[in-house]
Chains A and B, each alone.
Chain A
Amino acid sequence: MPKFKPHRAGIRIDMTPLVDIAFLLLTFFMMTTQFKPIEEVEIILPSSHSQFKLPDSDVMTINLAKDGRIFLGVDSQRLRATLFGKENELRASIEVPRERLGDLLIQARTANPKLRTVIKGDVGVEYGVAEDVMDILQKTRITRFNLVTNLETDRAGN
């Protein structure tokens, strides 16, 4: 008996390498994680077969909510402050009346000419809203823009 007891108590695994790896991965995921910004409105994306990825930065998003409201968002906080005022710089997107959208787009584009325009429309929004927005885009000479969609896989066969 006395021979057994100390033996049993003596099992100690050296956890240091385990902890090392765990913390390494932890820091990696903490650094790379990007929290999804809180959306002003919920948007259900339509799906398409397009494979283009959304760029990481310099994106200007025009959100079309289901009820036809338009929200404009830019990814840089500084630009948000200049466009919508200091008090709105932390909001992901701001509701914009249709008449002001063109001016804001021009302002944003002059502040950062590299901005890419992206339309994020809800599946249920009326096409008329999208048509108006595209009209405004065309008037402000943004003739190249992207539509955000989910990747559709079900009928990708043919």
Chain B
Amino acid sequence: MAGGGGEAAEPRKRGKAKKRKKSRRLGIRIDMTPLVDIAFLLLTFFMLTTTMSKPQTMEINLPPEDVPVEIAESNLLTLRVSEKEEIFWNFGIEAPEKVEFSALRNFLREKNQANPKLVTLVKIDRKAKYNMMVNIMDELNLAEITRFSLAQLTDSDKKILEKVQG
């Protein structure tokens, strides 16, 4: 109370200044609309540009080069893919037969069920597309075949294919 009395006794000027300050403090209102506009603009930008999904990958294991693996001929299924992306299969040294890509998965499943020791060797022509290789790998994975390997399509392989194609 005494303080209040003291204040009242202060010179007029100071009292006025204090009063003005108080009213100004209450009255400060910034219009936040542009701020919010920009914030949301940036927010939508970052939300839309963020890619949450990462690309998928397919894992491949190659056998080390200097370790030869020997397989009985009857357990070797060779898939040869020609330049025209036709698929031929044969066991060992039998004559190759054509198989459609759409039938490949069931074909592989059947063969592997018939002989669980089967090893699939995939030989793809150099002029075929990379996409073909990925598709065949995918089919092998989907048919749950883990025992497969890639090899070069040599000239003798090409001759065998030519013979079948006539």
Using CB atoms and an 8 Å cutoff, list the residues of chain A in contact with chain B.
12, 15-16, 18-19, 22-23, 25-26, 29-30, 32-36, 45-54, 56, 64, 118, 121-131, 134, 137-139, 141, 143-152, 158
| Residue numbers in B under 8 Å from A47 (CB-CB) | 134
Q: Tell me, yes or no, whether B23 is within 8 Å of chain A by CB.
A: no
User: A144's contact among B35, B56, B61, by CB below 8 Å, is which?
Assistant: B61
Do the beta carbons of B130 and A148 come within 8 Å of each other?
A: no
Binds A, one of B8-16, B36-44, B88-96, B111-119: B36-44
- How would you classify the secondary structure of chain A's contact residues: helix, strand, loop or mixed? mixed
Contact with A along B131-166 (1 / 0, CB 8 A): 111110110011000000010100000000000000
Using CB atoms and an 8 Å cutoff, list the residues of chain B in contact with chain A.
29, 32-33, 35-36, 39-40, 42-43, 46-47, 49-51, 54-65, 105, 124-135, 137-138, 141-142, 150, 152
Do the beta carbons of A134 and B62 come within 8 Å of each other?
A: yes
| Residue numbers in B under 8 Å from A64 (CB-CB) | 130
| Residue numbers in A under 8 Å from B131 (CB-CB) | 46, 123-124
Closest Cβ–Cβ distance, residue A121 to chain B (whole Å): 5
**In the complex, residue of chain B having the shortest beta-carbon distance to the beta carbon of A48:** B138
Do the beta carbons of B57 and A149 come within 8 Å of each other?
A: yes
**In the complex, residue of chain B having the shortest beta-carbon distance to the beta carbon of A12:** B29
Q: Which of B29, B40, B59 has the most CB of A within 10 A?
A: B59
Q: A18-B36, A48-B134 are in contact. Are A148 and B57 (CB under 8 A)?
A: yes
Bound: A130/B130 CA distance, A? 7
Do the beta carbons of A146 and B61 come within 8 Å of each other?
A: no
| Residue numbers in B under 8 Å from A130 (CB-CB) | 130, 133
Bound: A149/B150 CA distance, A? 19
Closest Cβ–Cβ distance, residue A142 to chain B (whole Å): 8
Bound: A25/B41 CA distance, A? 12
